[in-house]
Amino acid sequence: MRRHKTDTARQTVVMARVKARNNWRAMVKQCDDLGPLRVAALKKIGNHIFRANHSSHYVGQSIDEPLKLSYTQTDKNKFNPEKRTKTTLLRYLRRQFAETMELFNDAECDYVLKRHAVATLGDSVFSTVSGDEITEKYGEGWGVSSCMTESDSKYTVLYSENPNTVKMLCYDDGKQQARALVWKTECCATIVDRVYPNDGYHVEVFRDYAYRQGWGFREHQHLPDGSVHFDFADGTHRCDFEVVLPESEYLPYIDSFHWGTGDWRRGAGDCWRLTTCADDGYDFRCSSTCGDVPDSIRCDNCNCQVRNDDLREAPDGDNYCESCFDNRFTVCDCCGQHADVSDGESVECDWYCAECREDHLFSCTNCGEWSVNDDMITADDGEAQLCSCCGEDTETCAACGESYTEDCRETYTDSAGDEVSWCNCCAPSRAYA
């Protein structure tokens, strides 16, 4: 059992060394831009490491961190993955080949590291998602937090609604995660949008992957300050790309297709034409981090976006979407104007605004219900205003002929011993007449 475990560990280390050698050779082939002197230096270093077994280090690729190297400092730990030393490529080169590495300045060293990452990682670090999964990735903050991630991911629904036009390329090498949108344009070219995060070795891995797919890759990764150009593996350099997308509830912040025009028609729906070229003329920029849609305004009640043509202006001057407006306001059956539902009253299937209520309605003194003025019954010397229902319970004073309520009724016994009732205004004078 122990022998089997030892053999497995040995095989693992041997294969890691083979991978490191192959990755080194692939990296050197990609470094022609450094010139023949530096390419020759890299080849010489590779021969020392992998042919001459420099310092008996038996250098290989780190098993759990593929962008790092592992080596042994003692021969007995040569095939023990847990005892081997891990280090970064640049640190190993500068310590073991200090004189040769003096040929490379910092920018050239960074270039070598990026080429090494491209050669080492390959395609296995990439996956593609589309539809609702794009919004989910933004919700997770995949790669790095930005203005469209987490709670603001709802603004990216435009991407989810157009899976044939836009997808997300996700990167994960075990240490670094990153993302970029991939667009299928109107001219059928495929281009890769800005990478998030926009700095690091992984950007070169994205570029290499895009070139090998025949896709365009952004010339730069900073914020758009003009037309956004894309480079292709064949040397093509362009910025004249367009996509046409059906209008959506939100328009997200978009890095490359940053300029747009509205009122386009495709089939039965309105569309936005978005372009990477700032010189074509545009109606709006896709620069809102709140999902704002062109030619729209937010509802003052629910904060949703409303196209200007669908906007409803309330009597108080606030702007409402149709749903909120209908829930909060209604038409007065008396004056025909819209008013706040909470300020008016309904009487016999008619609704009165606050102003018309004061002019045409009264509140019953007895039950508190509202009635129209024409149905008012006055009692108790004008102090009681009764609805027709409550008015049925009044009596008419035999002395003055006015109506009075039970509360204002006075009863006396006359000289014959009979009880006599009057209103409380007439009763005192009658009782002692």
Does the residue 314 lie in any domain?
A: yes
What pLDDT is recorded for position 134? Answer: 97
Same domain, 185 and 270: yes
Same domain as 258, residue 147: yes
Q: What is the model's pLDDT at position 291?
A: 86
In this structure, what are the phi and psi dihedrals at residue 139, rounded to the nearest 5 degrees?
A: -60, -35
What pLDDT is recorded for position 326? 87
- Which residue would you say has higher pLDDT here, 118 or 311? 118
The reply to whether 159 and 74 lie within a common domain is no
Do 153 and 15 share a structural domain?
A: no
Question: Is 283 a residue whose pLDDT tops 90?
Answer: no
Residue 187 within any structural domain of the chain: yes
Please give the share of the chain, as a percent, with pLDDT higher than 90. 52
- Residue 121 reports pLDDT greater than 70: yes
Query: Is residue 40 located within the same domain as residue 111?
Result: yes
The 10s digit of each residue's pLDDT in 258-280 is 998 875 544 446 788 999 999 86
Same domain, 133 and 257: yes
Residue 92 pLDDT grade (very low, low, confident, very high; cuts 50, 70, 90): very high
pLDDT value of position 432: 47
Same domain for 200 and 100, yes or no, is: no
> Quick one: 223 and 95 in the same domain?
no
Domain closes at, from 85, 100, 121: 121
Q: Is residue 366 part of a domain?
A: no
Q: Is the pTM of this model over 0.85?
A: no
Of 90, 106, 121, the last residue of a domain is 121
Distance CA 431, CA 187 (A): 105
* In a domain? residue 24: yes
**367 found inside a domain:** no
In this prediction, residues 316-334 reach a mean pLDDT of: 86
Q: Domain end: 105, 121, 137, which one? A: 121
Cα 66 from Cα 120, distance rounded (Å): 7
Q: Which domain holds residue 352?
A: 332-361
Q: Are residues 152 and 266 in the same domain?
A: yes
Q: Which of 25, 31, 72 is nearest to 51 (CA)?
A: 25
The better pLDDT of the pair 168, 336 is held by: 168
> What are the tens digits of pLDDT across the range 16-25?
999 999 999 9
Average pLDDT, the chain: 86
Q: Are residues 112 and 188 in the same domain?
A: no
Burial (CB count within 10 angstroms: exposed 0-12, middle 13-18, buried 19+), residue 17? buried
**Cα(169)–Cα(234) distance, rounded to whole angstroms?**
22
Whether the per-residue pLDDT at 164 is higher than 90: the answer is: yes
265 within a domain of the structure (yes/no): yes
Residue 182 and residue 257 in one domain: yes
pLDDT in tens, 294-306: 766 778 888 776 7
What are the structure tokens assigned to 14, written together? 């041997």
Q: What is the mean pLDDT of residues 362-374?
A: 78
What is the total count of domains within the chain? 5
Please state, in angstroms and rounded to a whole number, the distance separating the CA atoms of residues 60 and 18: 7
Q: Domain for residue 186, yes or no? A: yes
Q: Do 75 and 224 share a domain, yes or no?
A: no
Asked if the structure places residue 341 within a domain, the reply is yes
pLDDT in tens, 213-255: 999 999 999 988 889 999 999 999 999 999 999 988 889 999 9
Structure confidence at residue 396 (pLDDT): 65
pLDDT band of residue 414 (cuts 50, 70, 90) is: low
* Strand-strand pairing, 216-218 and 190-192: parallel
